[in-house]
Chains A and B, each alone.
Chain A
Amino acid sequence: MKGYRRYFLNKLLWFLVTFVCAFILNFTLPRLMPGDPVAAIVSRLAQGLSDATGVQAIYQQYVDLFGTNRPILEQFFIYIKNVARGDFGFSFSQYPRTVAAVIKSSIGWTLALQFPAIIVGWLIGNTLGALAAYLKGGFDKVLMPVSIFISNFPAFGMAVIMLVIFGVALEWFPTSGGYGFDLIPSFSWGFIWSVIVHYQLPFWSIVLITIGGQAIGMRSMSIYELNADYVKYARFMGIKDRKIVGYVFRNAMLPQITGLALAIGTMVGGALFAEIIFSYPGLGYTLYNGVMGGDYPLISAATLIITVMVLSANFIIEILYGIIDPRIKAAQAD
């Protein structure tokens, strides 16, 4: 177990380091920009709200909360303290709701939508890619061009086209929202059914865009492995085809897992657009509303949460990879 421990500790350290860097970037990037950020925010405030007391309250609160008149290092520590308490201030565009409340109500939707969709898309894509490599012939000839085309299709374009075909033209599924606008969240059958129906379009549009790239990657990995010497040797030995295929796909799978860890950020980015197109009440749509409302605290918090989600997913995949790939144990043990 000693080998694993070193691998895990290494990965954990890397996770913490990236987290700290992402946190610092999230804090500094907006402050690096030329011009007076406070003035910009106040002018945006004045646009967003008509209620004078609301503007005053937020302004005062903003100054107190972030201490904008203090030196930047001190601001940074105030920021850390506030974030640690889960305090992101009031939302400009949805005053008097706090940013924490807005984020809390949307993060569940995003988690329930994106990660199952990405995993399902990854699994289907890899299965199709492996089949294409193994079966060759007609299946491969059809699957590959389709995959190349789909993987080049922009995520938002796919979402819009699915919306038009299945939502508007065929009217199979609702076009927006996480549940019927006339329902109140509860554990009734009507509500659960509505959630399931609203889930389909965003879910499948994310799955579809994930499939293409994965299928292409898995196909070329599998072809590479199928032509490897150990496969030929195993064939000469008379080992059954079924067993060889098992070995081949296990080996082809490993780079795909690393690929998933590296690409998860891009995938989540693409999935955010599916939420926006379908007005799905998750983080992506919240972020969109924040941008539309010039809501700086909301954007800052949402981007931070998205980064943390991606980093955590990345960390989990790396840990799983360590368990699956026996070479990790061997490499770290000596």
Chain B
Amino acid sequence: MKHTIQQVFRSGKFVVGFSILVAMLLIVIVYPLIITYPPLEIISQGTFFPPGIYVNVYDSIGSTRYILNLDDAAANRIASKLSNNDRLAMKDWLVAAGIPENEIDINNTEVLLDQWENNYDPKARIAGMTNAQRNYYVRLNNSLKGLLSTEGVSIAVKNAETGALEEAGVVAQSDYVNVNQVPNVRVLPLGTNSFGRDVLTELVKATAVSLQIGFVAGIIATLIGLTLGLVGGYVGGLADDVTMFVTNLFTVIPTIVLLILISFSIGQEKRGAFTIAVVIGFTSWVWTARAVRAQVISLRNRDHVNLSKLSGHSIVHIILADILPYIASYVVMALILQISTAILAEAGLSILGLGPKTTEVPTLGLMLNWALIYQAPILGKWWAYLPVIVTIALVTFSMNLMNTGLDQVFNPALRD
């Protein structure tokens, strides 16, 4: 046993796959201990906040201010408000308003803003302009107000008695706060999703649930496959005919069809993560059964098995002591494969809208499902779907690598 494990860990592929899997398991276990936010908590009002560090504006006004004189501050400020597309749009408007094109220089911010201020009229109707475009220019115009000013911004507080605004302070352009001193800062490394949940926290929880679904489904599938394979291969005769018939039948009938029919019939309310795992387990045992049967048939007439039979051992004893140890490596490989297939099956079912119900636990499939329903790929909200796809791919990739490694250890013919 010890020797086998040593041998397995000498295979490069297995070690790489195993390390990825262990790293993921560690993250899944450790992350919730450090970051204790509930994974399904809806934190953002609105959908798909981009990844970043969110600093409370109210608190940062109250925090200690530091004056930093940075040369590029003004340029950065203008650039963030006035993108190149905005400049081109401004040029279009000005040209349409009758300014000669050669007088407009979109790289000269000062002149451009001057021309804009003198000529822009929100009420002006330009032929061929849609309402949406008109609204865009109104928004642009509002955001440009005071862009070049070097004055600070006043903070006003409402007087509780009179209701009048009283100046409470001035924020100069060179004022900075230290993020570490602002009491409320939330880091959202992967932004928020279609429900306004923190994607990273949900993703970690979803990975944990999906792995659990994979393990449960994989163990169920392996147990069924192992039993059928042993019965078919060892007992033989009619039992073999029947199990082979059933196995062949479920090999050709597409699994996805069975999954869809069963999950749809169970109904949305009763579909928990565990139910889905059981359903997947009960529909994905065929390959294990085939592999085990083939192995058992080749073992059935070996000398040590015959000797055991002659000694009068029971079938259970023969299977446990003389057959199982020889096929254990196959069963482990099949189990790993089943786990990764089950995680994929869950994701597939969820994309179809037949996954576990949304309100209880997140799964990788459900996260992808909602990202797709909210059109995240088309809207360019990569943080809502890409990390999920990468996680699924990493899980299946690591498990398949482990499998390939094991295969090469146990079947020396495959080593190159």
Please name all residues of chain B whose beta carbon is closer than 8 Å to the beta carbon of A292 when the two chains form the complex: 353
Please name all residues of chain B whose beta carbon is closer than 8 Å to the beta carbon of A234 when the two chains form the complex: none
Contact with A along B373-415 (1 / 0, CB 8 A): 0000110101001000100110011001100100000000110
Please name all residues of chain B whose beta carbon is closer than 8 Å to the beta carbon of A154 when the two chains form the complex: 344, 347-348, 389, 392-393, 396
Please name all residues of chain B whose beta carbon is closer than 8 Å to the beta carbon of A288 when the two chains form the complex: 352-353
Which 4 A-B pairs have CB atoms at the shortest separation, nearest pair first?
A265-B254, A269-B256, A157-B389, A30-B265
Which one of B252, B368, B372, B416 contacts A310 once the chains associate, using CB atoms below 8 Å? Answer: B252
Which one of B249, B348, B416 contacts A21 once the chains associate, using CB atoms below 8 Å? Answer: B249
- Sample of 6 more A-B contacts, CB < 8 Å, known A18-B248, A292-B353: A30-B261, A152-B396, A153-B393, A154-B344, A154-B393, A276-B351
In terms of DSSP, what is the predominant structure of the interface of chain B? helix
A29 within 8 Å of B (CB atoms): yes
Would you give the shortest CB distance from B404 to chain A, in whole angstroms? Answer: 7
Please name all residues of chain B whose beta carbon is closer than 8 Å to the beta carbon of A31 when the two chains form the complex: 265
Closest to B345 in A: A269
What are 22 A-to-B residue pairs whose CB atoms are below 8 Å?
Answer: A18-B249, A31-B265, A33-B262, A149-B393, A152-B400, A154-B348, A155-B348, A156-B368, A160-B368, A262-B252, A265-B255, A265-B256, A266-B256, A269-B254, A269-B255, A269-B257, A269-B348, A291-B352, A299-B260, A299-B261, A303-B257, A310-B252
CB–CB A303/B261 < 8 A: yes
Residues of A that sit less than 8 Å from B by CB: 14, 17-18, 21-22, 25-26, 29-33, 35, 37, 40, 148-149, 151-157, 160-161, 163-164, 167-168, 175, 220, 223-224, 262, 265-266, 268-269, 272-273, 276-277, 287-288, 291-292, 296, 299-300, 303, 306-307, 310-311, 314
Closest to B392 in A: A154
Would you give the shortest CB distance from B147 to chain A, in whole angstroms? Answer: 31
CB–CB A268/B254 < 8 A: yes
CB–CB A311/B348 < 8 A: no
B251 within 8 Å of A (CB atoms): yes
Please name all residues of chain A whose beta carbon is closer than 8 Å to the beta carbon of B248 when the two chains form the complex: 14, 18
B253 within 8 Å of A (CB atoms): yes
Which one of A152, A277, A310 contacts B393 once the chains associate, using CB atoms below 8 Å? Answer: A152
B267 within 8 Å of A (CB atoms): yes
Known contacts A30-B264, A164-B377; is A148 also within 8 Å of B404 by CB? yes
Known contacts A18-B252, A168-B377; is A160 also within 8 Å of B389 by CB? yes
In terms of DSSP, what is the predominant structure of the interface of chain A? helix
Complex CA gap A272/B347 in Å reads: 14
CB–CB A25/B255 < 8 A: no
Please name all residues of chain B whose beta carbon is closer than 8 Å to the beta carbon of A299 when the two chains form the complex: 260-261, 264
Please name all residues of chain A whose beta carbon is closer than 8 Å to the beta carbon of B267 when the two chains form the complex: 33, 35, 40
Please name all residues of chain A whose beta carbon is closer than 8 Å to the beta carbon of B255 when the two chains form the complex: 265-266, 269
CB–CB A265/B253 < 8 A: yes
Please name all residues of chain A whose beta carbon is closer than 8 Å to the beta carbon of B257 when the two chains form the complex: 26, 269, 303, 306-307
Please name all residues of chain B whose beta carbon is closer than 8 Å to the beta carbon of A26 when the two chains form the complex: 257, 261
CB–CB B253/A307 < 8 A: yes
Please name all residues of chain B whose beta carbon is closer than 8 Å to the beta carbon of A303 when the two chains form the complex: 257, 260-261
Closest to B245 in A: A17
CB–CB A160/B260 < 8 A: no
Contact with A along B237-254 (1 / 0, CB 8 A): 000000000001101111
B354 within 8 Å of A (CB atoms): yes
Would you give the shortest CB distance from A158 to chain B, in whole angstroms? Answer: 9
